[in-house]
Amino acid sequence: MNSKTVIASLGILSLLLLNGCDHAWVILNVSPPAQIEFGSSHTSESPMDMAEQNDKYGISILPYTLAGEHRGQDDFEMYIVQVHGMCDEQLQSRINEALISASTSWIDGSMLGGEAALPIIYHQSSRYLSIRNIFEFEMSRIYAFVCDYITIDISTGTRVFLNDLVNTNDEFIELIRQPGIALASENTMQFDGNAENLWKWLAEMPVSEIERRLADCSRDQQAIIDESNFSLDGSIGSVLFRDNFYIEQDKLILVFGGWDLRVTLALESIEQFLLVEKW
């Protein structure tokens, strides 16, 4: 994945982003200093260039505190993606409320022992915003990660799931199991970017398991937790290895097994199953 990383050294990192209504420059601050990684959809040389790709809205990444006192827990510090500069202020509010709800509703102040990293922006356009929140845990000297992928429909201000975008019927499953359809991600360690290994893995996976994985891509974190034998108070196992998805320009990425099993699908190869126009 080609990504652009901006690292804040000391003090407050100021990002220049374009205001969508009057094209005036505004300064957004990300504090405390941290690393910001922009996903492969953004190949620009700076955050300013990224904003210029879409004059509808800009993105800010802001500190956010979840109060834990009602659960007898410490407050949980994390970061929230928010949009700004939209001419339609009501739509902007709906989008920001949807981002906050999707990012925090399942945590409820009980994310024990975890630390939140800054979100990754995979796709920003006038139609969709697709991001990843990541939480890091140290478990018996081993670091584990909970990844939460969120895609927002910019036109409605609501969250969308896989079954809003793609018809994942039997024919779709058979298609993605065929050699040459799925692309191996360079971030998928199990396959080392080797597409043939990925194709073999998909072909050997029972159809019922693929169905289950795709169904999980159409549920949020809370639904996964509610239907598991674990809660966040006792274990993060229910969301640690969950299946999800995100989008990039002209691509749908299925994330199997938490974060490092990625099945990348070019939209042109699955166009007959799309329920919306290509993004």
Residue 124: pLDDT above 60? yes
- Asked if residue 278 is part of any domain, the answer here is no
Contacts of 226 (CB under 8 A, 6+ apart): none
Q: 44 near 78, Cβ under 8 Å?
A: no
pLDDT tens digits for range 145-178: 788 899 999 999 999 999 999 999 999 999 999 9
Calculate ∠ Cα 142-101-242, nearest 5°: 35
pLDDT tens digits for range 215-271: 989 987 777 777 665 544 444 566 667 789 999 999 999 998 766 688 899 999 999
Residue 28: pLDDT above 70? no
Taking the alpha carbons at both ends of the chain, their separation in whole angstroms is 19
The type of residue at 48 is M
- Asked if residue 238 is part of any domain, the answer here is yes
Count of beta carbons in the 10 Å neighbourhood of residue 178:
12
pLDDT tens digits for range 93-122: 999 999 999 998 777 644 556 788 889 999
- Asked if residue 109 is part of any domain, the answer here is yes
**Structure confidence at residue 51 as a pLDDT band (50, 70, 90):** very low
Q: State the pLDDT at residue 31.
A: 32
- Asked if residue 121 is part of any domain, the answer here is yes
SS3 assignment, position 73: coil
Q: State the pLDDT at residue 75.
A: 79
- Asked if residue 268 is part of any domain, the answer here is yes
Mean pLDDT of 109-136: 84
Calculate ∠ Cα 165-166-170, nearest 5°: 160
What single string gives the DSSP state of each residue in 188-236? Answer: -TTTTT-HHHHHHHHHHS-HHHHHHHHHHTTS-HHHHHHTSS--TTT-S
Residue 22: pLDDT above 60? no
Domain that holds residue 86: 4-273
Q: 56 near 154, Cβ under 8 Å?
A: yes
Structural element, H or E, at residue 79 = strand 76-84
Output the CA–CA distances (angstroms, integers) from residue 106 to 75, 192, 223, 228, in the order listed. 15, 33, 9, 14
Q: What are phi and psi of 111, to 5 degrees?
A: -75, 90
- Asked if residue 36 is part of any domain, the answer here is yes
Count: domains in the chain: 1
CA-closest candidate to residue 235, choices 223, 244, 225, 221: 225
- Asked if residue 279 is part of any domain, the answer here is no
Length of the chain: 279
Q: What are phi and psi of 120, to 5 degrees?
A: -110, 135
Output the CA–CA distances (angstroms, integers) from residue 219 to 17, 59, 148, 209, 245, in the order listed. 33, 25, 11, 16, 11
- Asked if residue 111 is part of any domain, the answer here is yes
